[in-house]
């Protein structure tokens, strides 16, 4: 009985102390992860020369029927077909930095096809997104829009996870 009581006491002590090894990461370790992700995102934006849009801002733009093109950069069958931001069109981009256009990485689609999808108006508002903040497909899509000369390019970094997380309805392909 004493042994059982000792085990319970140790367990409660670990629980109350928030032992990192027994119960996951501490709030300090979680903060380091957040910082790392935030800095990575900022550096991508600086390199890419585009801006960010939040879930609330994108929802407002959609509700106001703002003239724009929304590009979902996720795989068609595995993601876009199942759930995408209303009105979004799909164009696959790879996860690693795409410094040169490679048709194989874009499911055989060419740079000219991406430019045709975005349209002739280089002033048009373009929103590019992928799944979630850590996903860099949207970075590649935004960078290539900028390289093609589009001026108003935004990355929706929260992606479809943030969209659904905010309680907004997603579209799907039937």
Rounding to the nearest 10 degrees, give the CA dihedral for residues 21, 27, 29, 32: 170
Q: How far apart are CA 119 and CA 100, in angstroms?
A: 21
Residue 31 lies in a domain: no
Residue 103 lies in a domain: yes
pLDDT tens-digit series, residues 100-136: 999 999 999 999 999 999 999 999 999 999 998 888 9
Domain that holds residue 133: 50-165
Residue 3 lies in a domain: no
Secondary structure E strands in 21-129: 51-52, 68-72, 89-90, 125-129
pLDDT tens-digit series, residues 7-43: 454 443 444 444 444 457 889 999 999 899 889 889 9
Q: What is the pLDDT of residue 174?
A: 86
Q: How far apart are CA 133 and CA 161, in angstroms?
A: 9
Q: For residue 134, give the DSSP letter.
A: T
Q: What are the phi and psi torsion angles at 130 (to 5°)?
A: -135, -140
**Residue 89 near residue 117, CB atoms below 8 Å:** yes
Residue 173 lies in a domain: no
Residue 13 lies in a domain: no
Look up residue 125 and give its two tokens. 């508002």
pLDDT tens-digit series, residues 133-147: 888 999 999 999 999
pLDDT at 161 over 70: yes
Model confidence at 1, pLDDT cuts 50, 70, 90, reads low
User: How many domains are contained in the chain?
Assistant: 1
pLDDT tens-digit series, residues 82-91: 999 999 999 9
Identify the CATH number of the domain in which residue 75 sits.
Answer: 3.40.250.10
Residue 24 lies in a domain: no
* 13 vs 76, residue with greater confidence: 76
pTM of the model: 0.82
Residue 135 lies in a domain: yes
Residue 62 lies in a domain: yes
């Amino acid at each position: 009985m004493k042994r059982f009581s000792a085990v319970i006491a140790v367990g409660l002590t670990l629980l109350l102390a928030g032992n990192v090894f027994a119960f996951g990461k501490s709030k300090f370790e979680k903060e380091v992860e957040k910082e790392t992700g935030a800095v990575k995102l900022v550096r991508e934006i600086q390199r890419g020369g585009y801006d960010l849009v939040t879930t609330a801002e994108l929802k407002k733009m959609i509700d106001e029927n703002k003239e724009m093109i929304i590009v979902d950069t996720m795989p068609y069958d595995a993601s876009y077909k199942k759930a995408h931001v209303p009105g979004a069109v799909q164009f696959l981009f790879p996860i690693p930095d795409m410094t040169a256009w490679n048709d194989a990485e874009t499911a055989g689609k060419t740079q000219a096809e991406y430019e045709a999808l975005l349209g002739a108006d280089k002033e048009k508002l373009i929103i590019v997104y992928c799944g979630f903040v850590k996903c860099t497909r949207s970075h590649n899509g935004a960078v290539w829009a900028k390289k093609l000369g589009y001026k108003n390019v935004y990355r929706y970094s929260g992606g479809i996870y943030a969209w659904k997380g905010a309680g907004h309805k997603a579209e799907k392909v039937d």
